[in-house]
Amino acid sequence: MSVTRLTKSTVDAIPFSASGQAIYKDSQLKGFGLKVGIGTKTYIAEGSPNGRSRLVTIGRHGVITTEQARKKASPLREGIDPNKVKKQARAKQLTLAEAAEIYLDAPKVRAPATLAEYRATLQRYFRDWLARPLSEITRKDCYGRHRKIGKERGTYAANGAMRMIRATYNRALKQFEDLPPVNPVIAVDWYPEEARDAAIAAEDLAEWYQGIHRLPNPIRTDYYLFVLLSGLRRRSAAVMRWEHVDLRAGTLFIPEPKGGKKRAFSLPLSDMMVDVLAKRREQNVIFYGADNPWGWPAASRPGHMVEPKLSDNDEKLVKVPFTICITVTGRKPDLHVKAVVEIMAGFWKSATGSDITQAFDKHNEPTSPAAHFICGVMEYCAGESVRYLRSSIETQMKKYIAALPEDVKRSAREARAAKNQEKRDAGKAKKKALRDAERAGLKGLATPC
């Protein structure tokens, strides 16, 4: 390790290392030096920021001058870590818009509609904050903006918007430890929220049914009726495509329910649901053409119904209030429907030895007993709690299976018996193979060498 006065001329004169690295220390500024490799010369500094001795790379010779490197080395000797200074500066410069993108780019799978709604909320309520550094958003700012949104747009919108800011800040804090450690949204006094209950009472269903048939748009009429009968979420129903509908088999495939493609499932259709869709397809061809893929077409950018809420004028026609977001048995609609179908499919297979979809294929018409049963069991379980959901379905399944025609029950028994016999034969064959292998091994041991 050599000691010399580091200047531009001396650094230029120092030869590259033949192998490995050589260190040259400056004779005037303690801790300042030059690291020379086979083809590079790099300025370095040694200091003890936070009480720990560490070597920091300042920059490459030729990119920065010797005097610039010397000036950058001085703070490190005084216990200041340049790397930490850079991190602190980056944290101070991080804007809300940048933090939001970090939050949205997380590995967590989010539906495109969720991402679009998040960005729309930022633009709607926090447009003037997007360019502000996150570290400069204060508790007072959050408290005031929450109150402002509550007065102008409603308390639920205010709570939702500030929850989004809170999540964005918390995500940024994981990555930028030099941000103020306390989330400024802590100052918000949240508006009380109650579960929205807009369920239609049984005694109001007739009036609601008459009301939706007074609507000027028959597509909306059929849409509301279909959502009520199917239990689907409003968006899952709104994006229905004809390629996913099989009216003959009486099924509707839901490719992307809430939770993503991994939760895709097929929904059995009752007679009334099939009638609604058959009428809708026929009328859609007349008004939108045979090539239109959407079940509920509309003059919107995507081409299908986007906002199913009633307009002010429509609310005067449908006097029974309702909301297409009701949870049933403690589950979101899509997941509840899927849970019912899965439980029925499992019990059907254990009881009859066949797949429940074979019941549809066998009858090959939407009025099959299986379709009737599935529609009925969903209605039966609509008021059940999650705790009793499975037992309710199994009870109904037993009743349904007991009422099946004798030929159906006989074929189910035969199929179940054949499957059990197949398992027994496979077990016997396996045991015989093991015995034969053991005998062959013993015989080999007994054979003289």
Q: Does residue 172 sit in the same domain as residue 58?
A: no
Query: Which tokens belong to 393?
Result: 């379905």
User: Would residue 226 count as lying in a domain?
Assistant: yes
Q: CA-to-CA distance for 297 and 311, rounded, in angstroms?
A: 18
CATH code for the domain of 263: 1.10.443
- Type and span of the H or E element at 33: strand 32-36
CB-based burial of residue 334 (10 Å sphere; 0-12 exposed, 13-18 middle, 19+ buried)?
buried
User: Would residue 418 count as lying in a domain?
Assistant: no
Q: Does residue 397 sit in the same domain as residue 271?
A: yes
Q: What is the tens place of the pLDDT at every residue in 337-349?
A: 555 555 555 555 5
Q: What is the tens place of the pLDDT at every residue in 394-426?
A: 565 566 666 666 776 677 677 777 877 888 888
User: Would residue 62 count as lying in a domain?
Assistant: yes
CATH code for the domain of 53: 3.30.160.390
CB-based burial of residue 439 (10 Å sphere; 0-12 exposed, 13-18 middle, 19+ buried)?
exposed
The pLDDT-based confidence of 3 (bands split at 50, 70, 90) is: confident
Task: Give the residue from 145, 163, 187 where a domain finishes.
Answer: 187
Q: Does residue 153 sit in the same domain as residue 289?
A: no
Q: Does residue 72 sit in the same domain as residue 104?
A: no
Q: Does residue 46 sit in the same domain as residue 151?
A: no
Q: Does residue 227 sit in the same domain as residue 143?
A: no
- Number of domains making up the chain: 3
Q: Does residue 40 sit in the same domain as residue 135?
A: no
Q: Does residue 163 sit in the same domain as residue 223?
A: no
Q: Does residue 396 sit in the same domain as residue 341?
A: yes
Q: What is the tens place of the pLDDT at every residue in 123-159?
A: 999 999 999 999 899 999 999 999 999 999 889 899 9
Give residue 238's domain range.
202-404
